[in-house]
Chains A and B, each alone.
Chain A
Amino acid sequence: MNLMNANSAVAAEPKIEPQNYRYLCEMVYRESGIVLDESKHYLVEARLTPVARDAGAGDLNALCNLMRAISGRPLRDKVVEAMTTNETLFFRDIKPFDALRQVILPELTAKRRPVQTLRVLSAACSTGQEAYSLAMLWKEMKIPGWDLDILGIDLSDEVLDKARGGRYQQLEVNRGLPAMYLVKYFQRDEAVWQIKSEIRSMARWRKFNLLDDLTPLGTFDLILCRNVLIYFDQPTKSRILGAFRGRLISGGYLFLGASETTLNLDDKFLRRQVASAIAYQKP
């Protein structure tokens, strides 16, 4: 194999063989729901070449052979993680956050007076900006005696570690975060911006695959699942939307990404226009 690598390094970068490409796509689909079709060749090569190198495989064909030979999880997880898109930012799209502040959170607190806690799921949370945005927004609402309990889930360990640490680069706090919140809820540690513990303590993080049974997570008043369904096919989207409905209290809300919808996927949510955002309510 090494000899082959030496040769291929001299020749042009070898392309992945069709059956290996299919093997990778099927594996990523099975493990994460992410659909990679023929148009994603470039993406697969760009993202998996470093993984192959780290694993000591010279190219993607060798990587596939290695995965077939050793059926261990770690390498498979690395491949899947490499194929996820983790882009996120504070207060992404802003409109859902306005709707939450103006309407949804007041409504839910009226409903949940006996327990004085709202449980929120940030599904496919990536590096945590969505969860922390909500936490800051909640802090600003100053509702005495109430708790907001946020659970962030994602299938990537790497993003969860970052979310847990609550440490962000300048480029990240520059994006979408009101300066007022930056000065109030972050501390600067050289080039890193650390979110303060009063905000950090409102969120917990757990590695969890949206394809798995969500029952162990418990029930929620609010689920944010934005900008991940776009990577899935129709049956997977329908299944996950149904699973979210199962996890919401009656009257609870789901928010999706700006380009996502329940339309033709799940007809049991009530679609509500709230402020300038669309929210999906469980009847």
Chain B
Amino acid sequence: MQQALIIDDSKAIRRILGATIRELGFDVAEAGNGREALEELARLPGPVRLILVDWNMPEMNGMEFLLALQGRERHPDTKVMMVTTETAIDQMIKALEAGADEYIMKPFTRDAIVDKLRLLGIVN
């Protein structure tokens, strides 16, 4: 099974996203902010195929997480998507420049998540 990591300080969002991603056949790990996510990445045995990351979180936000990730070795198959209420174009550009492969705005639908994962070549 492929590994996914969901990073959001809202438990409800982690649950909703987790259900969708599990349904698609992923093992799902969770983190409540960027710092926890980095710990989770260090702890997980195999490569992580998909990272879904919120922007606004305490301790370490999504943008800081992306930048931290840029400084590390990243598996070539790992795809990162921002899932956030930030809807300003400037913010999106910043996230893409910082290494996000995709970006989806909250609120999202289940279909919208699947469509984006299709774009990333993660689902058929």
CB-CB < 8 A to A174: which residues of B? 104-105, 108-109, 112
- Report the separation of the CA atoms of residues A150 and B40 in the bound assembly, to the nearest whole angstrom: 48
- Report the separation of the CA atoms of residues A187 and B105 in the bound assembly, to the nearest whole angstrom: 15
B52 to chain A, nearest CB (A): 14
A92 to chain B, nearest CB (A): 9
Q: Does A188 contact B (CB under 8 A)?
A: yes
- Report the separation of the CA atoms of residues A176 and B112 in the bound assembly, to the nearest whole angstrom: 7
Q: Does B119 contact A (CB under 8 A)?
A: yes
Contact among B88, B93, B112, B119 for A178, CB-based, below 8 A: B119
CB-CB < 8 A to B10: which residues of A? none
Q: Does A179 contact B (CB under 8 A)?
A: yes
Q: Does B92 contact A (CB under 8 A)?
A: yes
B99 to chain A, nearest CB (A): 12
A-B contact count (CB 8 A): 45
Q: Does B23 contact A (CB under 8 A)?
A: no
Q: Does B118 contact A (CB under 8 A)?
A: yes
B94 to chain A, nearest CB (A): 10
- Report the separation of the CA atoms of residues A140 and B118 in the bound assembly, to the nearest whole angstrom: 20
Contact among B96, B100, B119 for A94, CB-based, below 8 A: B119
Contact string against A for B residues 69-88, beta-carbon threshold 8 Å, 1 for contact and 0 otherwise = 00000000000000000011
> Are A178's CB and B115's CB within 8 A?
no
> Are A179's CB and B92's CB within 8 A?
yes
B93 to chain A, nearest CB (A): 5
A42 to chain B, nearest CB (A): 22
> Are A171's CB and B109's CB within 8 A?
yes
Contact among A91, A171, A182, A187 for B112, CB-based, below 8 A: A171
Q: Does B103 contact A (CB under 8 A)?
A: yes
CB-CB < 8 A to A180: which residues of B? 96
CB-CB < 8 A to A179: which residues of B? 92, 96, 100, 102-104
Additional pairs, 4, CB under 8 Å, beyond known A175-B112, A187-B89: A174-B108, A178-B102, A178-B119, A179-B100
Which residues of B are in contact with A by a Cβ distance under 8 Å? 87-89, 92-93, 96, 100, 102-105, 107-109, 111-112, 115-116, 118-119
The 7 closest A-B pairs by CB, nearest first: A179-B103, A176-B115, A174-B112, A175-B112, A183-B92, A175-B115, A183-B89
